[in-house]
Structure formats: structure tokens, C-alpha cells
Amino acid sequence: MSTSPGSDAAEEGEPLLGTRRQARELALSLLYEADTKEVAPGAVLSDFPIEPDPFAADVVAGVGEHQIQIDDVISRFARDWALDRMPVVDRNLLRMGVYELVHRPDVPTAVVISEAVELARRYSTEESGRFVNGVLARIAEEVRAS
């Protein structure tokens, strides 16, 4: 199967390798901007100059819509870490992960966690990957328990 742009897989709606990762990077960027500017994620999303990837838009809008509940979940599981004391990138990766775990059952748990960990390693502190992994793994055990 070809995975180049314009291939049959892309035309049939099958995501190309890396597409969701790029969408998550965009979502992280938009949530970071909203957090640092202290504005609603929806405001940053609506001001984005082009139509964002649908997955990125869903994650940003979903985090904005459910942020109070998402932050409550994070606060319960991030022992000894107040949300406002976390690095901005970590806080928003956790928000994205919780949104996906709770509201996007189509995304496998392992994918949610591994993508968040990868972004934490790439864009945050040396310890962030382990921190994000630990918190999201504990949350996943509760919210996706079968």
C-alpha cells in the first residue's frame, strides 16, 4: 500500500503515518498559546489563520470544552504536583491525553500515552516523558478499565 500524499489510502480517509502526530503537535502548540495568553482554547482555534487538521481542532476544542473536568482528573492523579506548577507543555500534554482517553475511545490507550510521552521528550524537560507517562498510565487504568 502506498502512503504518499494523494495515494488511495489517503483518499479513502485512512490516516497517513505521522498525520495524527503532526495534528497533536499542532494541538499542543495551540493549547500552549491559549495557556500562556490565558485565553480559551477555542479563541486561539478560531483565530488560527488556516483550517486546522480536524483531529487537532477536535482535541483543542474538546480540551477547552471539558477543561474543568480534565484538570480535576489530572489533579487527582498528579500527586504532589499542582497544575499551575507544572511546565506548560506537560500540563497541556496531560490535558490532551485525558481528553483522548475519556472522549476519543477510537484512539488506543497505548497510542495516547506513547504520543504524549514522545511530545514531552521532544518539547519539555528531561523528566517530562516519565512524568507524563506515569500520570496518563494511572488515569488510563481508571477511565479505560474494562
Block mean pLDDT (10 aa), the chain, length 146: 37 53 96 97 96 95 98 94 95 98 97 97 95 98 88
| Through-space distance between the first and last CA atoms of the chain, rounded to whole angstroms | 34
86 domain residue, yes or no: yes
- CA–CA dist 41, 32 (Å, integer): 9
Q: Please answer whether residues 90 and 128 qualify as being in contact, where contact means their C-beta atoms are separated by less than 8 angstroms.
A: yes
State residue 18's pLDDT score: 57
Q: Which residue range is the domain that position 76 belongs to?
A: 19-143
pTM score above 0.85: yes
Place of cell 502548540: 29
Residue 60: which CATH number? 1.10.940.10
Instruction: Identify which of 107, 118, 103, 138 has the alpha carbon closest to the alpha carbon of residue 28.
Output: 118
Number of domains, the chain: 1
